A and B are shown apart, each in its own frame.
Chain A
Amino acid sequence: MTLRRYLILALVTLTAALGDTCLARGMKAFPPVSLSHPQALIHAIVSPWILAGIVLLTGFFASYLTALSFADLTYVLPATSMGYVIMTILARFWLHEHVSPGRWLGLLFITAGVGFVARGPSYTETDSVLPVLRPELEEVVS
């Protein structure tokens, strides 16, 4: 793992947390949207916070795909779950939401989980590059 790759994992974590927080910040400015009138959501898209959230989440998906091109799924998912920790800290200190003791305990578990995976290898070398899926699934997909 190079510094650049760690930065991409950090980007996955940060853009997911900031994107979700921006969406939450933007949606708090709107009255509750009824599922029977989903067109009310169109007005939400022009909100600067929602737009910022969409841009950040697009960045998240791009960096997530980049991370999956050099690391295993079972490495990327736990490693980037630090986003939950950042999101909860942002919710507490930026959005001034109440964070219960149970949630702080949850964050401790997540941090421990990230610690476990960060100490191991990031990529499983396979014999061949292409047939990653099982042959019977390969037929279905192609």
Chain B
Amino acid sequence: MMRTVALLPTVGMVGAIVITATAGDILTASAMRQIGDLDVIRNQRGLSGAALSIITNGRFGLGVLFLALSFFSLLYGLNHRDLSLIGPAATSLTFVSNAVAARIFLRENVDHRRWAAALFVCIGVALLAF
């Protein structure tokens, strides 16, 4: 019972990091897709034009906001739990959640190769804790 009580806040902290990081990544990726190939934009409008097209994009701003929330969730998690637990757990799960979210929200073609890549990297990052 005591272990369950101690486990719940940890799951909540890792869950908050994973959800906010995934939302940030999906919104940022969606923004960059909406903006288009930066090489082409830079050739047409210069470096300042490319930078302006990014920072004036609403999705990008929202994505950065979620990435900032993810960073503060990570800091909160590190204040209460060990880095060796929070870091690999959050990072590895984010690889899988990003694959799921990219398939649903960005409609990316997540084939068996990409699922395998996400799972292998997820396991690999988790093993880095040992």
Contact residues of A with B, CB < 8 Å?
A: 4, 35, 65-66, 68-70, 72-78, 81, 84, 88, 100, 102-103, 105-114, 116-117, 119-121, 124, 126, 129-130, 132-134, 137, 141-142
Contacts and interface: CB of A to CB of B under 8 A. Distances in A.
Given A84-B128, A121-B109, 15 more contacts: A35-B79, A65-B54, A68-B33, A72-B109, A73-B25, A74-B118, A76-B29, A81-B125, A84-B125, A110-B125, A113-B118, A124-B106, A126-B107, A132-B34, A133-B105
A65 B98 CA distance: 16
B38 A69 contact: yes
B36 A129 contact: yes
B13 to A, nearest CB: 15
Given A68-B28, A109-B120, A124-B107, A73 B102 contact: yes
Main secondary structure on B side of the interface with A: helix
A49 to B, nearest CB: 20
Contacts of B32: 65, 68-69
A47 to B, nearest CB: 20
Interface in B29-79: 29-30, 32-39, 54, 58-59, 62, 79
Pick the most buried of B25, B39, B59, B127: most chain A CB atoms within 10 A of its CB: B127
B99 A106 contact: no
A109 B118 contact: no
Contact of B30 (A105, A110, A116, A132): A132
Contacts of B98: 73-74, 77
B85 interface: no
B124 to A, nearest CB: 3
Contacts of B36: 69, 129
A113 B119 contact: yes
A137 B130 CA distance: 39
A105 B120 contact: no
Pick the most buried of B59, B113, B123: most chain A CB atoms within 10 A of its CB: B113
A113 B25 contact: no
